[in-house]
Amino acid sequence: MPPTNFQYDLEKLKNRRLQTYHRGSTSRLSRIVSRYRELSAEDYSTPAILASIARSVMRKIIGRIRRLALSDSFPEMAELKAGQDLTGLTGAVLRKLERGDIGRLQAFAVRITGGLGDALVVARLIRDLQKILGDNLEFDVYSQSPAAVEAFFRNIPAFRKSLNLEIFEHVTRYYMFALSANQFVTFGNEQIDYRAVLTYCPEVVNIFGYVQKKREEIEVYVKNHPYLDGAFADIATRHGFKRYTYLHEMMGIGYGGDLLPIDVDPKIPLGLDLKPKSYITIHDGWDAKFKISTQRPTKAVPKVIWEQIIAGLKAAMPDMKIVQLGGKTGDDLPQVDLNLKNRLTFSESTSVIAGAVLHVDAESGLVHLAAALGVKSVVMFGPTNVAWFGYPQNANIAPVQCGNCWWSNTTWMDTCALGLTEPVCTTSINPRAVVEATLELLSRETAHAAKAVTTT
């Protein structure tokens, strides 16, 4: 029998997790034991559980081997200069730097963990940080998707390079300071060159102190990221904080708005016979770098619901084209007018979204991208926190039942945290409510555009 009180059972699950981590059970062995218990509770066989744990451990080992190999396997560089790609460092150059033959860079490094949505949130943070620093320091960005992420930072003053996250730990000592940003902002204190910071950007010292004070208040969540991210979001939203502004709050700097100066090419949608504001983009997909053991993650809206949404939109707006975007993950939706899934580069998809009148999606990185481009979205939520991730200008569709089990256990993306065969949150999304929300938001957008034309 499925649980009859989803909220009660979910709160028990969250409290048990929070108590476990508050007791300090954060070692790798403890996390393996915790994952074993969670999978056992979901009726996985012992061989399947051990295979899942072994795959996770092997990914970490292979990643470490790759990082160690990177520092000695790049093409030779005669010397390191501002603006050169740090991925070109060899063992010889690293040793030269360690001896002090080459000084520190007059630059700082930014490490981003997470997907493209996280990178967009961090890009806004660095944009506003650079306003305080007066663009006195250049900066490099390290992420899992350096080619795509570069577009978010390219037009921020003093940006230099977008580089692979795997070499970050090998090069941070050569920057004046380095920060990591995900759910939180942290500084590598042992790497800070305080003398250079005081010389070139004394404003940063106050920011260091502010971040450290904020961190003391939430240390258990910072230390256990991402395992307590859901618990932290529950607390943060009760104080009025949002995902897209909390990093600013933690650093004590003002939020400069959602829009980012991302390059778009209006010729891209025109070349696809898509006139500006004459189409809606939709997306069924998720971050492929987040490894799951099931065919679709819990946050993905079922294909049958997508089909009903598209049918409703086409019936209500027969002249509005529906364009599907996305990469390798997710399903092809045959009812759309134009399926561009896995056919465009990320840059090309960005230009297509920029020309759309609206974007319809589950909670994903493309929702953050649309907000950065000034395009509003209709967003269907499941296991993630609506109050934390939702932008106020969007139509945020909460699940009819349950929801917000994000990081209430380690396997929340694989299977329902409450042990149901299907996640009740995303399967309870009402297609009619999504269609109505889309029509209402579209009506407001059309009225706003007409008013703008009249006033000009």
Residue 229 belongs to some domain of the structure: yes
Q: Is residue 127 included in any domain, yes or no? A: yes
Are 346 and 207 in a shared domain?
Answer: no
Residues 310-322: tens digit of each pLDDT: 999 999 999 999 9
Which of the listed ranges 67-71, 100-104, 348-352, 444-448 does the model predict with the highest average pLDDT? 348-352
Residue 21 domain flag: no
Residue 76: the pLDDT is: 29
Q: What CA–CA distance (Å, rounded) separates 441 from 193? A: 50
| Cα–Cα distances in angstroms (integers) from residue 268 to residues 100, 333, 337, 346, 351, in the given order | 48, 22, 17, 12, 6
Token digits for 128?
Answer: 């506003």
Please report whether residue 78 resides in a domain.
Answer: no
Of 38-42, 143-147, 155-159, 422-426, the range with the lowest mean pLDDT is 38-42
Domain boundary residue, one of 16, 41, 70: 70
List all residues 6 or more positions away from 35 whose beta carbon is below 8 Å from its beta carbon.
Answer: 52, 53, 56, 410, 411
Kindly state whether residues 43 and 96 are assigned to the same domain.
no
Distance CA 43, CA 111 (A): 38
**65 and 92, same domain (yes or no):** no
Give pLDDT tens digits for 343-372: 999 999 999 999 999 999 999 999 999 999
Is the domain of 45 the same as that of 170?
no
Task: Answer yes or no: is pLDDT of 83 > 60.
Answer: no
**CATH code for the domain in which residue 397 is found:** 3.40.50.2000
Residue 153 and residue 126 share a domain: yes
Please give the pLDDT value at position 25. 45
The reply to whether 101 and 223 lie within a common domain is: yes
Stated length of the chain: 456
Classify 377 as helix, strand or coil.
strand
Tell me, what's the pLDDT at 254? 97
pTM: 0.83
Average pLDDT on 259-288 reads 96
149 assigned to some structural domain: yes
Specify the pLDDT at position 195.
83
Give residues with Cβ within 8 angstroms of 342, minimum separation 6. Answer: 326, 327, 328
pLDDT in tens, 393-437: 999 999 999 999 999 998 899 999 988 889 999 999 999 999 999
The total number of structural domains that make up the chain: 3
Q: Residue 347's domain spans which residues? A: 267-455
- Tell me if residue 302 falls in helix, strand or coil: coil
Residue 40 pLDDT level (bands cut at 50, 70, 90)? low
pLDDT range class, residue 101, cuts 50, 70, 90: very low
Residue 367: per-residue pLDDT: 98
Same structural domain, 349 and 233 = no
Given this model, what pLDDT does residue 6 score? Answer: 79
Angle at 31 (CA atoms; ends 28, 32), nearest 5 degrees: 90
User: Distance between CA 196 and CA 177 in Å, rounded?
Assistant: 9
